[in-house]
Amino acid sequence: MEERIYLDHAAAMPVNPGVARFCRQFPGGFAGNPSTIYQEGLAAQATVAAAREKVAALIGARDPASIVFTSGATESNNIAIRGTALRNRKMGERVVTSAIEHISVLNPAKDLQKNGFTFTEVPVDHFGVIDLDTLTAVVTPETVVTSVHYANNEIGTIEPIREVAEIVHDRGGFLHVDATDAAGRIPIDVERDGIDLATLSSNQLGGPDGVGALYIRPGVRVQPVIVGGGQERGLRPGTENVFGIACMGEAARIAKEEMPGESERLRGIRDRLIAGITGIEEAYLTGHPAERLPHHASFRFSRIEGESIQLAMNMLGIAIATGSACTSRTLEASHVLLGIGLAHDEAHGSMVATLGRENSPDEVPRVVSAARETVKRLRAITPL
Ligand code: PMP
């Protein structure tokens, strides 16, 4: 039997072998609780501190104390949006995001409406790039938080974050950037980019699941979303996941080291995949052709439906997505694809490949011919 090809790294990534080697040094986890002051506790504290430095280094954060460890990107997004909006509501009661953010950004922003906030979504163009003119018009001095992702997980488009930061800072508000899919893939520098808060996920860096981080620029005040003990500056109360944090730190270190070479290698595979798939009749690239993540290739096929593509590709030995894993169990069209101006039926025919370290250029011909065969077969039976 042919080996399976895994092309859904945005949904879940195998742990990087270097990270796995590092984690295996601690087969029993860590004995100490970082809140205690005997030797074991101090060792756990030092482990967390080392991880904080490695994560800070990945995104150019000067002060490691600006990193708060969380349980993942969803929690980081919630703390960033709710916590910053509620703590600084004296500035005003407005929150702005792009229309194609992840639901873990959109839902906390929508939820703030129950607290009296106004929430505005800024449209994107047909490549998924945020409309800076609209952004300029809707961000006011009363806008506490503006949240724009570094790059989109369904269409790979990279946003013009530095320009967004200028607009936001001109009005005196804070910029939160969900960097889940971009970190470790393209260079991010919170100083250069003008980012006030940034979300990171361990898994997307090649670390274990269930751990993430939030960068908070020194001086930005954020209120806890859950309350308890004083861990992580009170912003993420509860005993730290020391093992997960240690492994995430190492993942950040390795990602920084490997990024230049690995991103270049994946860009080569991505471009071959794009050339092959867009050669299929009525197949189109979604997202930006140039300003896109190096590991990301996304498409739509007319007259067929994404879930059928996914199931048929699965039978041919290929794990590939039709959108965000977080919304894949709903039958609704993706808000991202509708956001870039696709009609409902167009948005349903989507296929998303996200590459990782086990992928090789040799896999491209098999993926392209599987997609070609799938599309032909499904079109032959479609009622559309
Ligand atoms: N933000 C973005 C941009 C994502 O792609 C994801 C995961 N697909 C998340 C947030 C949520 O990550 P998690 O499920 O790890 O909390």
153 Cβ below 6 A of ligand 1: yes
Report CA Rg, the chain: 21
* CA distance linking residue 346 with residue 372, whole number of Å: 18
102 Cβ below 6 A of ligand 1: yes
**Probe ligand 1: pick from 180, 197, 236, 335, max atoms within 8 Å of CB?**
180
Angle, to 10 degrees, between the axis of helix 242-277 and the axis of helix 364-381? 70
- CATH 3.90.1150.10 domain extents, the chain: 5-13+259-381
Is 247 assigned a catalytic role? Answer: no
Read off the pLDDT band of 327 (50, 70, 90).
low
Indicate whether 134 pLDDT > 60.
Answer: yes
- CATH 3.40.640.10 domain extents, the chain: 17-254
pLDDT at 333: 87
Mean predicted lDDT score pLDDT of the chain? 95
pLDDT at 323: 75
Read off the pLDDT band of 345 (50, 70, 90).
confident
What is the pTM assigned to this prediction? 0.96
Give residue-wise pLDDT tens across range 252-283.
999 999 999 999 999 999 999 999 999 999 99
* CA distance linking residue 122 with residue 332, whole number of Å: 21
190 Cβ below 6 A of ligand 1: no
Give residue-wise pLDDT tens across range 62-81.
999 999 999 999 999 999 99
Mark 252-291 as b/e (b = at least 16 C-beta within 10 Å): bbbbbebbeebbebbbebbebbbebbeebeebebbbbeee
Indicate whether 328 pLDDT > 80.
Answer: no
Is the CATH code 3.40.50.300 the one for domain 5-13+259-381? no
Alpha carbon of 129 to those of 137, 157, 271: distances in Å?
16, 7, 20
359 Cβ below 6 A of ligand 1: no
149 Cβ below 6 A of ligand 1: yes
Fold annotation for 17-254: Aspartate Aminotransferase; domain 2 (3.40.640)
CA 384 to centroid of ligand 1, rounded, Å: 33
Indicate whether 329 pLDDT > 60.
Answer: no
Instruction: List the catalytic residue out of 49, 103, 326, 338.
Output: 326
Indicate whether 240 pLDDT > 80.
Answer: yes
Closest by CA to 197, choosing from 82, 47, 51, is 82
CA 221 to centroid of ligand 1, rounded, Å: 24
Q: What percent of the chain has pLDDT over 90?
A: 91
204 Cβ below 6 A of ligand 1: no
pLDDT at 27: 72
CA 27 to centroid of ligand 1, rounded, Å: 28
CA 322 to centroid of ligand 1, rounded, Å: 16
**Probe ligand 1: pick from 153, 241, 334, max atoms within 8 Å of CB?**
153
The pairing of beta strand 143-147 with beta strand 94-98: parallel
Give residue-wise pLDDT tens across range 17-64.
999 999 998 877 777 899 999 999 999 999 999 999 999 999 999 999
Mean pLDDT across the stretch 226-235?
Answer: 94
Indicate whether 106 pLDDT > 60.
Answer: yes
